[in-house]
Amino acid sequence: MTGTILIADDHPLFRQALSMAAAAVRPDARIVECANLESALNEAIAADDLILMLLDLKMPGAEGYSGVALLHAEKPAVPILVISSADAGQAAQNAVRFGAVGFIGKDTGLDAIEQAIADALAGRRIVAPTDDEIDPVAAQITMLTPTQLKVLLGVMQGRLNKQIAYDLSISEATVKAHMTAILKKLDVQNRTQAVLVGKALGLEPIHH
């Protein structure tokens, strides 16, 4: 067995199609299917041999590009290939900004999906950023730790520190410490500015 491939999509038939495509490219890999972001995050954290993540943008627990950002924060070295029905133009660029190596539409043929999977596994970037470098603010977002990113998403929801602490099963003091680190990493002065940075980049909060 040469690693685990994670498939996160809430549509059973499409998960099955992606599993078939992944198995065709890497027949000896273990393939794990998830129908929501929470289970995808849990599986990603648990798998120490993860080699690729195939991710739908729109599924339970994920809004905007929060799923890409969270999975990238948990496993920054593992390529993420976004497969979505969203408009390919802007969505592809935003997915790359938050850590994905590529984007393919759900109307893409099976051969093209298999090629994209093979390219991602080989370390080839399927969608290049529009600019020579990914813009610095997006790069700052991707430097946040998984917990810091979850705290930022909570702040974007308008939740108080004590509510975020409850959601994440950490102390309120720990939330405050993470918030201080977030402001420093994003080079902003307060929570409002941090929220504006997140929204300007298309990051959307996860609604429970």
Report how many domains make up the chain.
Answer: 2
Do 101 and 148 share a structural domain? no
In a domain, 127, yes or no: no
CATH code for the domain of 160:
1.10.10.10
Full-prediction pTM beyond 0.85? no
What is the structure's pLDDT at 207?
A: 56
Q: Which of 36, 27, 38, 32 is nearest to 53 (CA)?
A: 32
Please identify, among 94, 121, 148, the residue that sits at the C-terminal boundary of a domain.
Answer: 121
64-93 CB burial, b ≥16 within 10 A, e <16? bbbbbbbbbbbbeebbbbbbbebebeebbb
Q: Which residue has the tokens 């000896």?
A: 28
Pair (12, 78) in one structural domain: yes
Average pLDDT rounded to a whole number, residues 54-74: 83
According to DSSP, the β-strands at 4-8 and 50-55 are: parallel
Q: In terms of domains, do 147 and 80 share one?
A: no
Task: Please state, rounded to an integer, the average pLDDT across all residues of the chain.
Answer: 85
Crossing angle for the helix pair 110-121 and 12-25, nearest 10 degrees? 60
Q: Record the tokens describing residue 207, joined without a space.
A: 């609604």
Query: Is 207 a domain residue?
Result: no
Q: Specify whether 19 is located in the same domain as 113.
A: yes
Query: Are 23 and 102 found together in one domain?
Result: yes
- CATH code for the domain of 32: 3.40.50.2300
Using CA atoms, how far residue 184 sits from 46, 75, 137, in Å, is 30, 22, 12
Q: Which residue range forms the structural domain that includes residue 96?
A: 4-121
Q: Above 70 in pLDDT, residue 131?
A: no
Query: Residue 93 domain-assigned?
Result: yes
Same domain, 155 and 112: no
* pLDDT tens readout for residues 154-179: 998 888 999 999 998 999 999 999 99
Query: Is residue 8 within 8 Å of 58, Cβ to Cβ?
Result: no
Rounded CA-CA distance 23/193 in Å is 44
In this predicted structure, the answer to whether residue 133 has a pLDDT above a threshold of 50 is no
